Structure 1
Amino acid sequence: MPQRTLSADEAAQQLKISKATLYSYVSRGLIRSEEGQGKTRARRYVAADVEALLRRKEQRRHPDRTAESALHFGDPVLESAITLIEEGQLFYRGWNAIELARTHSFEAVASLLWGVEEADNTLFNHVALEAAATRHMQDMQTQMAPWQSLAPVERFQLALPLAAAADLAAFNQSPEAVAQTGARILHMLVMVTTNAIVTTPIAHHL
């Protein structure tokens, strides 16, 4: 069955754009076109592509609606190797979310989400993290003094740029290094919230 097509005027009108913009969409591969029939051989534009582009524009204008529909177990906003919604259940890296909460520690779940199969006590080595946190605490001590009246999220927004400037290892983008950076960040955020060096599992401080 032939696919439905639109004239340039019809496609531009539906998208509320100029023909010049329509042609740029075609050149970027967003909309397919084909040679039309008849004397003029004017190009026709695939209606399904125009409609898909309209939907994407609508999603960008109203991202809250897209997220809400996904939370109600509709179509996913993005395909993900981390999460799966199936038959009303949530899965992370193939694990049922409820089962994860029952059987895994906070650190183990974080490791799983980061794609690291190491045990808690290797990625979240509290001796190594404590040493790094102590250095950060000393570096940020004077800056942190006025933060006490701020909400935790506001403290995080101030602490992260300071920590990033002193943590050159964070620029290593290998999977293992990214997970280690994540562990340092979590450790530091708990420290900023509690004003104390974290020496026990993170969940004990939450």
Structure 2
Amino acid sequence: MTAEGDENYLTTAEVARRLRVKPETIYAYVSRGLLTSVRARGRRGSLFSPTEVDRLASRSVDHSGVVERIESELTLLQNDELYYRGHSARELATSWTLEQVADLLWTAQPPARSTPNTAGAVFGVEREGVQLAQAAMGVVPEGARLTDRLRVAVAVLGAADPLRFDLSAQSVTAAAGRLIGTLVTALPGDMGSGTLGARLWPKLSGEAPRAEVLDAALILLADHGLAVSTVAARVAASARANLYAVISAGLGALDGQYHGAAPTLAYEFLRRAQQDPLKALSDQLRTGEPIPGFGHRIYQHRDPRAEVLLGLLGDHPIVGTIAAVAERTPTFPNSDLAIAAIMHAYDFRPDAGDALFAIARMIGWTAHALEEYAAPALRFRAMGVYTGQTT
């Protein structure tokens, strides 16, 4: 490409000074599609549009590390509230169906409020896929967690999908709905009918179902900005990994003890607190570790997700247990504790919280993957600093 009226264009050295990077980094930006180099007639070297350079400068966190600020239209965390595409998550969880929220996150088009329940259409299943997923889940040891079964099944279902490399939005959303629906159906246990929450309930509990509770939880946990598992999923999508690989990347990060395991830690703390709230709190404080299920790195005074979910439990005794602990600590219940409360209230299996979190977050990872597929490929590349021995 040749520059027209190149007197306003910037040289490589000028761009490097403006972005505070080495000239070699500018070449890396060009190779990754972040900058476009042009040639000037009668001049040597590359030139760059000042507008394009300014745009890159405004969205970059650290040019020396080639790490970008990730722009997203999906989730806003502001003033202790959560929004999906500008819609309050509180309202979505109590007034919309999960299927409508998934459609909002994936397509940016909110459905008409009169739209009937579309659970079967959004999270549909194919019998062959369910059988394959059940066979894959059956390979893991008997004592394996539900999330272990989910990870194995995702990998196998991906290998069996010959069209997994079709990254068009329509194909990705169809595959995501089918994958989530198939995973829920394939989990061990009886099969419910109706919304995804109704279908998932008997997999987690033998109590009389309250599908609206699980549907609300799935909505409120679907996305939470750039959590570590979401970043992992976006990095995979940036490399143009297929949806199954993106979900696998997210599940891998979710398996860390500081992320996806949080509901289980809150569940165990709440189990002790039901016997003696003050002793459970005292024992936890003695360890020097944070109180599981309380406080948050982003929210300052309340977690809106926890408020909605605990509100759905009404006057259940478990809510009183939480209140007895909360009045003795300056922090507040978070969504992990709310999920743990639901687990205790309805006698969920002990590993249900992690699985619920994983299934919900697959909806968000899909939305982030769609955004990433529309962005320049391979745009995440941290610059390593060698600290080893030299010769």
Number of matched residues? 174
Point out the structure with max Rg over C-alpha. 1
- Comparing 167-176 and 49-58, the one that deviates more: 49-58
Q: Which amino acid aligns with 1:107?
A: E
Shift of 1:100: 0.6
Q: Which amino acid aligns with 1:154?
A: D
Asked if 1 retains the 8 angstrom alpha-carbon contact of 2:99 and 2:118, the reply is no
**Identical-pair percentage:** 22
| TM-score normalised by structure 2 residue count | 0.33
- Structure 1 residues 167 and 88 mapped into 2: Cα distance closer, same or farther (>3 Å)? same
- Structure 1 residues 198 and 168 mapped into 2: Cα distance closer, same or farther (>3 Å)? farther
Task: Give RMSD over aligned pairs.
Answer: 4.9
Shift of 1:173: 4.6
Partner residue in 2 for 1:100: 92
Q: Distance in 2 between matches of 1:179 and 1:24?
A: 35
| TM-score normalised by structure 1 residue count | 0.56
Is residue 138 from structure 1 mapped to residue 144 from structure 2 by the alignment? no
Shift of 1:78: 1.3
Partner residue in 1 for 2:105: 113
- Structure 1 residues 90 and 23 mapped into 2: Cα distance closer, same or farther (>3 Å)? closer
Shift of 1:168: 4.3
Q: Distance in 1 between matches of 2:29 and 2:175?
A: 42
Asked if 2 retains the 8 angstrom alpha-carbon contact of 1:172 and 1:178, the reply is yes
Listed as ranges, the matches of 1:72-87 within 5 Å are 77-80=70-73, 82-85=74-77
String of CA shifts for 1:102-156, please: whole Å, max 9, x gaps. 1122222212212263846446349953xx1x32232344432232432333222
- Structure 2 gaps of 5+ residues are 1-12, 38-49, 202-355, 357-391
Asked if 1 retains the 8 angstrom alpha-carbon contact of 2:76 and 2:84, the reply is yes
- Structure 1 residues 102 and 59 mapped into 2: Cα distance closer, same or farther (>3 Å)? farther
Is residue 91 from structure 1 mapped to residue 83 from structure 2 by the alignment? yes
Partner residue in 2 for 1:24: 27
Partner residue in 2 for 1:153: 147
- Structure 1 gaps of 5+ residues are 1-7, 33-45, 67-76
- Structure 1 residues 200 and 167 mapped into 2: Cα distance closer, same or farther (>3 Å)? farther
Q: Distance in 2 between matches of 1:172 and 1:122?
A: 24
SS in 1 for 2:62: helix
Q: Distance in 2 between matches of 1:58 and 1:27?
A: 15
Listed as ranges, the matches of 1:38-57 within 5 Å are 52=57, 55-57=61-63
Partner residue in 1 for 2:181: 187
Asked if 2 retains the 8 angstrom alpha-carbon contact of 1:123 and 1:180, the reply is no
String of CA shifts for 1:82-102, please: whole Å, max 9, x gaps. 234455533213311111111
Q: Distance in 2 between matches of 1:84 and 1:107?
A: 20
- Structure 1 residues 158 and 121 mapped into 2: Cα distance closer, same or farther (>3 Å)? same
Partner residue in 2 for 1:5: none
